[in-house]
């Protein structure tokens, strides 16, 4: 598994494409980063699967309403 790599993500608020550096050496991560275009917060989740040696990056707006 690559410890550090760049990933292109899309802001869930404005659709702006930006590149982030993902550090997979610490395992699963959950953090927030502001969009460079619209300044809204993006929830970034990094899931590391040690068995398959895969890393998944999920970007969410955290503004969904649950009923």
Which pLDDT belongs to residue 67? Answer: 52
Please write the tens of the pLDDT for every residue from 25-37: 888 999 999 999 9
Domain ranges of the chain: 4-60
Which pLDDT belongs to residue 12? Answer: 93
The whole model's pTM is what? 0.82
User: 10-residue block means of pLDDT along the chain (67 residues)?
Assistant: 86 95 90 95 93 92 69
Which pLDDT belongs to residue 1? Answer: 57
Which pLDDT belongs to residue 34? Answer: 95
Encode the chain in three state secondary structure: CCCEEEEEEECCCCCCEEEEEEEHHHCCEEEEEECCCCCCEEEEEEEEECCCCEEEEEEECCCCCCC
């Amino acid at each position: 598994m690559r410890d550090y790599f760049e990933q292109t993500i899309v802001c869930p608020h404005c659709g702006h494409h930006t590149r982030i550096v993902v550090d997979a050496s610490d395992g699963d991560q959950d953090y927030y980063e502001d969009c460079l275009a619209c300044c809204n917060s993006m929830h970034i989740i990094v899931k590391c699967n040690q068995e398959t040696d895969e890393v998944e990056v999920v970007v969410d707006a955290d503004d969904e309403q649950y009923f």
